[in-house]
Amino acid sequence: MTKLSLARTERARLGRNAGAATGAMLAAAGLELFLIPHGMTAGGAIGVSALIAFLADARLGLLLLLLHAVFLLAGYRRIVGLFGHPAVIGLAVLSLGTLVLHPLPALTGDPLLAALMGGALLGAGSGVALRIGGFTDVSHFVKLRWSSPAISKGFHALNAALFLGVGLAYGWERALYSLLAFALAAEATRLMLRGYPFWKLMWIWSEREDDVRAALASEGKREFVETVGEEASPGGTRPVLLCRVHRLEEERLRRLVREADPDARLALSPVGEDGRIPFTR
């Protein structure tokens, strides 16, 4: 690799790390400068931590620091191997950011404005971090790593229980404001990720299809499509293997394919809006 290529790679790495940190600080500002001072939460692991902080009269930043420390210690190498250092930086900066901003007063005394601004900042920060591979909530990692309808339903149930708990403990007005913040955060995240293809279709031409399939499957359960055709290559014909991959794991899976078959040829294309591989039922 040339010095120019190394410099570009290093700049890209630094840019991703800075993006993860920036997104996490935006999320921390939304929490500590708007939502937390008004006793609001916004769903996910952060929301659960916020409710525990309210009930225990503790700092949210300390709870997040403990949660993220346990999470990272339990699977640091795995997390970095899957998604790179931005995933770690996002969680670390969010924890430290909430601690640093906690002593500052709320930027508004209006609970409605606090819900709107806090939700917008939290969602925008999460979206910025997610675009470059960072996480501001452990639930993002879980949804991404083990994407399935059951996981999604589980988080929906968790959020419903969370807002119910806020309503029972602190009143339904606070629960409604929290629900508003949550909805706005989700919409802000979607806006930040608009046009960003999380899932792609990897086309693999390889004469060692079984080895490639085994290498990719070793990293988790994957949906494959059997050979759908053949294409001419300098060495003859190669079967085509299709596999759905997430944008954040693209480089890692490229390496796995190359290790299984150095002569394999790869191409990437978007998947359908439902995220499924075409040609399957």
| Mean pLDDT in residue range 65-75 | 85
Domain boundaries, the chain: 3-194, 199-270
pLDDT at 207 over 90: no
What pLDDT is attached to residue 137? Answer: 87
**Which architecture, in CATH terms, is 199-270?**
2-Layer Sandwich (3.30)
Q: Which neighbouring-strand residues pair with 270?
A: 200
Amino acid at 253: L
| Mean pLDDT in residue range 160-166 | 91
What pLDDT is attached to residue 269? Answer: 79
CA distance 187 to 37: 22
pLDDT tens sequence across 174-201 = 999 999 999 999 999 988 887 776 677 8
Would you say 121 and 189 are in contact if contact means Cβ atoms under 8 Å apart?
Answer: no
pLDDT tens sequence across 79-135 = 776 677 888 888 999 999 999 999 999 999 999 999 999 999 999 999 998 887 788
The phi, psi pair for 270, rounded to 5°, reads: -65, 155
φ/ψ region of 39 (left if φ > 0, alpha if ψ in -120 to 50, else beta) reads left
Rg (C-alpha) for the chain, rounded Å, is 21
Stated pTM of the model:
0.75
